[in-house]
Amino acid sequence: MAQWLSGEVIENFAWNSELFSLRVRTEPFTFTAGQFVRLGLTIEGQRVQRAYSLVNGPADPVLDFLVNRVHDGLFSPALHQLKAGQHIEVSQPASGFFTLNEVPDGDDLWLIGTGTGIGPYFSMLTTAEPWQRFQRIHLVHAVRHAEDLAYQPLIAELLAERAGQFVYQPVVSREDHAGALRGRIPALISSGELEAAVGCPLTPRSQLMLCGNPEMIRDARELLASKGLPKNLRRTPGNVTIEHYW
């Protein structure tokens, strides 16, 4: 049965005018990296709640959420306005199966996210599991504009600590950016550009996680299935594990 914890906003950090990291302290609870909670607020007298992935590692005491303000949305503009010291409700226990224990073994792990869909991967990368189970880990972040490439300091730390095992590949669709591929994930998989950029081919020993925009997930999933990399289901294990944000 879901329970609500009272959380205190510690920080609302703006990556740019629309993208922000909300850091919240609650009483401690356990979760598996990749899971999400619901955040709850009362907006104009109505109780509203939405799902958000936990970006912080399970061992971190402060909850971290990477959120995009949806302009005509109801909940995310209210989150965007929250300031340190204000309160928000956090559901417990955390939910979801977008977790590494649902992913079969393989040689290389591709963590592919659009926009805020990169968040759950940071949580996973704080744990020992991906580093112990996979020889190579590719973190692929697809955004519209380069200013949406959040968490660069954390990525720089991972690149320094895990040289040889960890590759970060940004993808920017609407402008050129140094080091980034230009375009959409499905097209870059189809053309072979993504494999060339990270220096690793997709093979039956590849495991991919896809998170974020449902169109990207649908198109990438169909393409990967046509390359012999089917969706991963509990009853029929495959290569592609997915989480839709809407």
By the criterion CB under 6 A, which residues form the site for ligand FAD? 36, 50-53, 65-68, 70, 73-76, 96, 115-116, 119, 243, 245-246
| Complex with ligand FAD: residue 31 or 52, whichever CB lies closer | 52
Question: Taking the complex as a whole, how short is the minimal distance between the CB of residue 212 and ligand FAD, in angstroms?
Answer: 7
Question: Taking the complex as a whole, how short is the minimal distance between the CB of residue 78 and ligand FAD, in angstroms?
Answer: 8
Question: Taking the complex as a whole, how short is the minimal distance between the CB of residue 4 and ligand FAD, in angstroms?
Answer: 16
52 and 39 in contact (C-beta within 8 Å)? yes
| Complex with ligand FAD: residue 105 or 215, whichever CB lies closer | 215
| Complex with ligand FAD: residue 35 or 206, whichever CB lies closer | 35
Q: Which of 246, 87, 111 is nearest to 166 (CA)?
A: 111
123 and 152 in contact (C-beta within 8 Å)? no
| Complex with ligand FAD: residue 119 or 130, whichever CB lies closer | 119
Peptide linkage before 61 cis (omega within 30 of 0): no
Residue nearest to ligand FAD (CB): 73
The C-alpha atoms of residue 186 and residue 19 are separated, in whole angstroms, by: 24
CA distances to 11, 38, 82 from 117, in Å: 20, 16, 21
Question: Taking the complex as a whole, how short is the minimal distance between the CB of residue 65 and ligand FAD, in angstroms?
Answer: 6
